[in-house]
Amino acid sequence: MSNIILGGMMLKAVFFDIDDTLFDTSGFAKLARKAALNMMIDAGLPLSSTEAYKLLREIIGQKGSNYDKHFNVLTKTVFGEEKPLLISLGMINYHNVKFALLRPFPETISTLINIKAKGYQLGVISNGITIKQWEKLIRLGIYPFFDEVVTSDEVGFEKPHGRIFEVALNRMGCSAENSVMIGNKFTEDIMGAVNAGMSAILVNSKLTTEEEKRIEEEKLDVKVISNISELENIL
């Protein structure tokens, strides 16, 4: 193993979040949802594109992104009952557009190759449904890089709960002190990992003034990078 020391400890394992860390989840999801709604509108949904997207966002906020019947709720809200044709059109178009756009960030694969070549164990710690998260890794073409994939669905606890990090560390056979978590969410990924005794690296996200102050005052073992490719200079 080469280089890396974070927090004064030699690293052995590197864990990643998936969404908005390894690929642009938010960007492609927005496009796919809008395409699905436009198809539903063309087939009889009596809303404008703006109205439909606002309503869908409200439903997603209430039900959560892992809920699989957003379009069912949308049609029932609008019509007072579910509309199978509109739901099916929405779902099919959403998935068609999603799969067509699903790509890792340009630097993701080369970065994973570089880190793996240095001898690190690589893992995933993700809030989400197990099958869906595996599907993303497979469609992105990056699943072979990871030694372990741990999801909140199978563990029963979501980040930042310490249990999901504990399970991931146990499966990888490594200690928290020799591990780092890389993700885009300060509370779930960064503080969850730090509270579990790990180092952490925030990517594709900016710290608030309060978060910066907390890192400084508590002397947290946290680094911030703007692009996943910067990991090659840290690890």
pLDDT of residue 78: 98
For residue 18, what are the CA distances in angstroms to 21, 133, 161, 223? 5, 8, 17, 18
Give the span between the Cα atoms of 59 and 49, in whole angstroms.
15
Count how many residues are written for the chain: 235
Return d(Cα 72, Cα 53) in angstroms, integer. 14
CA distance 235 to 233: 6
Q: What does the block give as tokens for 44?
A: 């009889």
Tell me the C-alpha distance between 19 and 5, whole Å: 26
* Domains present along the chain, CATH in parentheses: 5-24+104-234 (3.40.50.1000), 26-101 (1.10.150.520)
DSSP conformational letter for 26:
H
Handedness of CA 112, 153, 203, 97 (dihedral sign): positive
Q: Residue 131 and residue 151: Cα distance in Å, rounded?
A: 9
Nearest to 177 by CA among 9, 15, 14: 9
What is the pTM (predicted TM-score) of this model? 0.87
- pLDDT tens for residues 100-134? 888 999 999 999 999 999 999 999 999 999 999 99
Beta strands 5-6 and 9-10: pairing type?
A: antiparallel
Token code pair at residue 179? 């591990």
Given this model, what pLDDT does residue 3 score?
44
CA 41 centroid distance within chain: 30
* Residue-by-residue pLDDT tens, the chain, 235 positions: 344 445 545 789 999 999 999 999 988 899 999 999 999 999 999 999 999 999 999 999 999 888 889 999 999 999 999 999 999 999 999 999 988 888 999 999 999 999 999 999 999 999 999 999 999 999 999 999 999 999 999 999 999 999 999 999 999 999 999 999 999 999 999 999 999 999 999 999 999 999 999 999 999 999 999 999 999 888 8
Question: Can you tell me the distance from the alpha carbon of 164 to that of 150, in angstroms, rounded to the nearest whole number?
Answer: 7
pLDDT score for 114: 95
CA distances (Å), 225 to each of 172, 213, 229, in order? 25, 17, 9
